[in-house]
Chain A
């Protein structure tokens, strides 16, 4: 459960959950890559439809992931605002025309191009968001390592990920108790202290945390070594599941999405879909 709470795994019966972790990981990467490259509005809308459909199929309720949605929404709005503050003409530069709607003050005018650009960049987040949430909420963390290994990452690296997920709750608890004990001695990290003092104070918490973590690294390595980790060039995985028909279909679909979106996006030699010319 601990690792589940780190990444908010929500187990249940659904088509998405039944896919192997490997498929979900691969699809997630293919899809993310497609949505990163393209800026073509039509492609983005197409991707969004797929992404929302997948979310529905997963039987995960919106309220279960509300925290993530709210967080990303706030992040998105802030980012849009920052973009506008730094360069209100970014849209104009990209699309090459300038249709002014209103002038606010100084250099801050509102143009159709800027609105369209903001719409597109927001779309880009929204496309990726459901798939990302699905990837972490519908994949058993136990499958991460095996999946990474299956798509070609060394099993040692895969196992590092597994160890990270395993020990995050322990380290979080250590951090918490160390910082409480230090607070009792007057070591504060809050606003009462000056910045430099805060940084120096943080050393008082980090040092015990690091030293106990280094000791932990020794124990874990010994335990792993005693049980034969790394003796062969391969290893099998307890949680790995065999590929079913759906896995192959989803993977093929993922590749198709990437290829199609690349083709449509770059057909006219431009990453952007331009409705202004």
Chain B
């Protein structure tokens, strides 16, 4: 359908803008010095689950690239690719999760959480560090430690914040054909 493709274009744009604003300007201290909770991964998980793998991947790609560019450096492609990957993987389960139907029960919450954890673990413990070693020849121990930390932090954010958001969102959706004037 034509309309849904325009909506995807817009959702990617607005999603990337949200990803950017949260990643660039919002710092929630994580408790470990100099590291912050990246709320943008909660939004990425949610939007990917709503709009599918293409939109999810592009939100991660565009949002992360813009953040890196705005700091002034050239994008840290290994991590940009990892963000893209998270969006794609979570997006693959959009149909199964069917958030637009409302009713986000225990089974779906579990699926949402598992998918997000898997996506983040692969992205940050496999993809990002491997590319770091390949491109930048950084020490394996360093990049994997960073990756493990990112995987834990982003999975936690996606599971706790993301699931709460999705649960709240699904409660705001009206059931089909149920609206009537009061």
A and B touch in the complex (CB under 8 A): yes
CB-CB under 8 A from B135, the residues of chain A are: 36-37
Chain A neighbourhood of B160, CB < 8 A: 196, 199-200
B79 interfacial contact with A, CB 8 Å: no
Interface size of A by CB at 8 A reads 77
Given contacts A121-B136, A172-B21, whether A68 and B9 have CB atoms under 8 Å apart is no
Residues of A within 8 A of B25 (CB): 172, 175
- In this complex, the member of B31, B42, B142, B157 whose beta carbon has the largest number of chain A beta carbons within 10 angstroms is B142
The minimal Cβ–Cβ distance linking B54 to chain A, given in whole angstroms, is 9
Contacts known (A67-B72, A203-B161); A213 close to B137, Cβ less than 8 A: no
With contacts A132-B73, A133-B72, A207-B169 taken as known, whether A39 is within 8 angstroms of B137 at the C-beta atoms is yes
Q: Mark B154-167, 1 if CB is under 8 A from A, else 0.
A: 00110011001100
In the complex, chain B residues whose CB is within 8 Å of the CB of A156: 5, 8-9
Q: Is the CB of A160 within 8 A of B169?
A: no
A94 vs B163: C-alpha distance when bound (angstroms)? 44
Question: Does the CB pair A199–B29 fall under 8 Å?
Answer: no
Chain A 149-171: CB-based contact to B (< 8 A → 1; otherwise 0)? 00000001101111111111011
Chain B interface mostly helix, strand, loop or mixed? helix
Q: Chain B residues with Cβ under 8 A from A217's Cβ? A: 7, 10-11, 14
* A229 proximal to B (CB < 8 A): yes
| A260 in contact (CB, < 8 A) | no
Knowing A68-B73, A189-B28, A211-B172 are in contact, say whether A163-B17 is a contact too (CB < 8 A): yes
A136 to B70, CA, bound (A): 8
Contacts of B161 in A (CB 8 A): 199, 202-203, 206
Q: Please report the C-alpha to C-alpha distance between residue A225 and residue B5 in the assembled complex, in whole angstroms.
A: 10
Complex: A128 Cα to B14 Cα, angstroms: 29
Could you tell me the distance in whole angstroms from the C-beta of A209 to the nearest C-beta in chain B?
7
A71 to B69, CA, bound (A): 12
- Report yes or no: B13 in contact with A167, Cβ–Cβ below 8 A: yes
Q: Determine if B128 is an interface residue (Cβ-Cβ < 8 Å).
A: no
A163 touches B169 (CB 8 A): no
Question: Does the CB pair A168–B141 fall under 8 Å?
Answer: no
Interface string of B110-124 (1 = CB under 8 A from A): 000000000000000
- Asked whether, in the complex, the Cβ of A7 is within 8 Å of the Cβ of B69, the reply is yes
Note all chain B residues with C-beta closer than 8 A to A135.
69, 74
**Which among A32, A131, A220 is the interface contact of B14 at CB below 8 angstroms?**
A220
Is there contact, CB below 8 Å, between A195 and B30? yes
Residue among A7, A37, A206, A220 having the largest count of chain B Cβ atoms under 10 Å: A206
User: Are the C-beta atoms of B11 and A32 separated by less than 8 Å?
Assistant: no
User: Cβ of B10 and Cβ of A168 under 8 Å apart?
Assistant: no
| Distance, CA A171 to CA B26, complexed state (A) | 12
> Known interface pairs A164-B16, A206-B165, A211-B172. Does A121 touch B74 (Cβ–Cβ under 8 Å)?
no
Question: Could you tell me if A83 and B14 are in contact, using CB atoms closer than 8 angstroms?
Answer: no
Residues of chain B contacted by A220 (CB below 8 angstroms): 10, 13-14
Contact B141–A87 (Cβ < 8 Å): yes
Contact between chains at A160 and B9 (CB < 8 Å)? yes
A7 adjacent to B70 (CB under 8 Å): yes
Structural contact, A213 and B18, CB atoms closer than 8 A: yes
Q: Determine if B125 is an interface residue (Cβ-Cβ < 8 Å).
A: no
In the complex the two chains form, is A83's CB within 8 Å of B142's CB? yes
User: Is A224 located at the chain interface by the 8 A CB criterion?
Assistant: yes
Q: List 23 A-B contacts (CB under 8 A).
A: A36-B135, A72-B72, A117-B137, A121-B136, A121-B138, A131-B74, A136-B72, A156-B9, A157-B9, A163-B9, A163-B12, A164-B12, A164-B20, A164-B66, A175-B22, A189-B26, A202-B37, A202-B42, A209-B18, A210-B165, A213-B14, A217-B7, A225-B6
Q: What residues make up the interface of B, taking CB atoms closer than 8 Å to A?
A: 2-3, 5-14, 16-18, 20-22, 25-26, 28-31, 37, 39, 42-43, 46, 58, 62-63, 66, 69-75, 77, 135-142, 145-146, 156-157, 160-161, 164-165, 168-169, 172
Given contact pairs A163-B9, A199-B156, a sample of 8 additional A-B residue pairs in the complex whose CB atoms are under 8 Å apart: A164-B14, A171-B18, A175-B22, A189-B26, A200-B160, A210-B43, A218-B7, A230-B6
